[in-house]
Structures are given as structure tokens and as C-alpha cells.
């Protein structure tokens, strides 16, 4: 099959992969740890940093954690780079089905998942 465009179904099926959710979970924990130690600067003012740290506390709360992992799995799977990686859309598009979500994991670099989680982080903070 030739190059193609990933679909919403591809993103949905990817987000439901247990292996993908596990990778997003580790990325989310790493992102939260990085946010806790980020420096205050002109690009990261104190007010935004405090909002981000408060969100980290919400995410890492054991009562809420699995819900946040599911939400970030959806956000990461909707990321154009991640879903393009998973479907090999730029060279040989292969749709993701409910049975292939786990098998496409080698196509997705950890860096792209990390970037997707980091890029989505502020979107889940109320008021940001």
C-alpha cells in the first residue's frame, strides 16, 4: 500500500493498545518528574509552574492515575506524528485495527511519545 493519511480509527485503536498505554504511562511519569524540577524563567513564569506542579499532584494521585493514563493515551494517539509513525503513513500506510495496536509499537520512537505527552500537558490544566 502507498503512503496515506491516518484516520481517527487508527488513533482510537492505537490508544486502546495495552502496550501503548504502558509506554504512555512511563512517559507521563517522566514528564511529571521533569515538571517538578523545572526552573523558573522568562519562558516558565512562577504562576505557570505552580499550575503545572498542581496538575502533577492531581495526575500522580493514585485515585486518579489510571484515568489520566487513559486520557494521555488518547492525546498521544491523536498526535499526528505518533499516529503517522504507527501506521507508517509516509511510506506504506497500514491501518491500525483492534488486533494490530500492539504490533505497531516498534514503529513509534519513545521520543515521539514523550514529545506528544509533553505537548499535551498544558492542555489538561484548567485555566492554561
pLDDT in tens, 65-115: 999 999 999 999 999 999 999 999 888 999 999 999 999 999 999 999 999
Q: How confident is the model at residue 14 (pLDDT cuts 50, 70, 90)?
A: very high
The pLDDT of residue 103 is 93
Q: 92: how many CB neighbours lie within 10 A of its CB?
A: 11
Q: 37: how many CB neighbours lie within 10 A of its CB?
A: 6
Rounded to two decimals, the pTM is: 0.92
**Residue 1 scores a pLDDT above 60:** no
Name the DSSP class of 55.
Answer: H
**Residue 3 scores a pLDDT above 90:** no
The pLDDT of residue 61 is 97
Cell of 85: 509513525
* C-alpha–C-alpha distance, residues 92 and 20, integer Å: 21
The pLDDT of residue 2 is 72
End-to-end CA distance of the chain: 42
Amino acid at each position: 500500500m502507498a503512503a496515506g493519511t491516518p484516520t481517527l480509527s487508527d488513533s482510537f485503536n492505537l490508544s486502546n493498545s495495552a502496550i501503548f498505554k504502558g509506554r504512555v504511562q512511563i512517559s507521563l511519569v517522566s514528564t511529571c518528574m521533569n515538571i517538578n524540577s523545572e526552573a523558573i524563567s522568562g519562558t516558565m513564569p512562577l504562576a505557570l509552574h505552580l499550575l503545572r506542579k498542581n496538575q502533577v499532584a492531581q495526575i500522580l494521585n493514585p485515585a486518579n492515575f489510571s484515568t489520566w493514563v487513559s486520557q494521555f493515551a488518547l492525546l498521544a494517539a491523536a498526535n499526528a506524528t505518533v499516529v503517522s509513525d504507527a501506521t507508517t503513513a509516509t511510506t506504506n500506510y497500514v491501518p491500525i485495527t483492534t488486533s494490530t495496536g500492539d504490533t505497531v509499537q516498534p514503529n513509534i520512537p519513545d521520543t515521539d511519545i514523550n514529545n506528544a505527552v509533553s505537548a499535551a500537558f498544558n492542555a489538561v490544566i484548567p485555566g492554561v
